Chains A and B, each alone.
Chain A
Amino acid sequence: QKEVEQNSGPLSVPEGAIASLNCTYSDRGSQSFFWYRQYSGKSPELIMFIYSNGDKEDGRFTAQLNKASQYVSLLIRDSQPSDSATYLCAVNVDSSASKIIFGSGTRLSIRP
């Protein structure tokens, strides 16, 4: 069974600080990794995707991938109250069939 694991939280971070969200995956053959943000009662929305080892930056967000450790993370700099949401890690576990599965998500709370 291919799995994606996340700490469910809640993770509480003061406004302006860096929030660090982590994800591990079981299938070593996985190639693509996605971070989605989901507000309560809403659909997930894409924040970033990464498929090469190392860091990828987009504004206040940085995704980090370490395939050897089967680990992907998301850093949010200068955290804002509007960043309070559940963050879902998603992994393409079968690129030939485009099968994408999700972790259970980490609930992030930014305190003013």
Chain B
Amino acid sequence: DAMVIQNPRYQVTQFGKPVTLSCSQTLNHNVMYWYQQKSSQAPKLLFHYYDKDFNNEADTPDNFQSRRPNTSFCFLDIRSPGLGDAAMYLCATSSSGSDSPLHFGNGTRLTVT
């Protein structure tokens, strides 16, 4: 089945220690998104790629970076995680077109110790 896969499912990192979350897709969608979701809050868009075009949200901290080396893969790098970065990180994809819904991976739960 075509899908969006996030690894790892759970990630524990130390305060200040860089961490990378990964996302892959077999849907061949040209748009890939990273959302951060904290408990009882809305998924917050961090950034997204429309093909190779990177769209960063104005309020996304510089501590968060992303890479998309090809259509299938996208990475979220947190350069110096703080305790406030503990959250569920959701990767999603969509095809282009305003009526295209998001297809989510299972998420990565990040814990910062």
Interface size on B, residues (CB 8 A): 26
Contact A98 B94 (CB under 8 A): yes
Chain A residues whose CB sits within 8 angstroms of the CB of B48 once the complex forms: 97-99
Q: Which residue of B lies closest to A43 (CB)?
A: B104
Contact A34 B55 (CB under 8 A): no
| Given A88-B43, A100-B45, A101-B45: A34 in contact with B102 (beta carbons within 8 A) | yes
Chain A residues whose CB sits within 8 angstroms of the CB of B50 once the complex forms: 97-98
Contact A43 B45 (CB under 8 A): no
Nearest-Cβ distance from residue B51 to partner chain A, whole angstroms = 10
Chain B residues whose CB sits within 8 angstroms of the CB of A90 once the complex forms: 102
* Distance in angstroms between the alpha carbons of A108 and B53 in the assembled complex: 37
| Given A32-B99, A43-B90: A98 in contact with B31 (beta carbons within 8 A) | yes
Contact A104 B100 (CB under 8 A): no
Q: Which residue of A lies closest to B90 (CB)?
A: A43
Contact A92 B98 (CB under 8 A): yes
Chain A residues whose CB sits within 8 angstroms of the CB of B71 once the complex forms: none
Chain B residues whose CB sits within 8 angstroms of the CB of A102 once the complex forms: 35, 42-45
* Distance in angstroms between the alpha carbons of A103 and B48 in the assembled complex: 18
Contact B45 A99 (CB under 8 A): yes
Residue of A31, A92, A103 contacting most chain B CB atoms (<10 Å): A92
Contact A31 B98 (CB under 8 A): yes
Within 8 A of B (CB), among A39-90: 42-46, 49, 51, 88, 90
Contact A104 B42 (CB under 8 A): yes
With beta carbons under 8 angstroms apart, the residue of A4, A44, A98, A103 that contacts B100 is A98
The yes or no answer to B81 lying at the interface (CB within 8 A) is no
With beta carbons under 8 angstroms apart, the residue of B35, B98, B102 that contacts A95 is B98
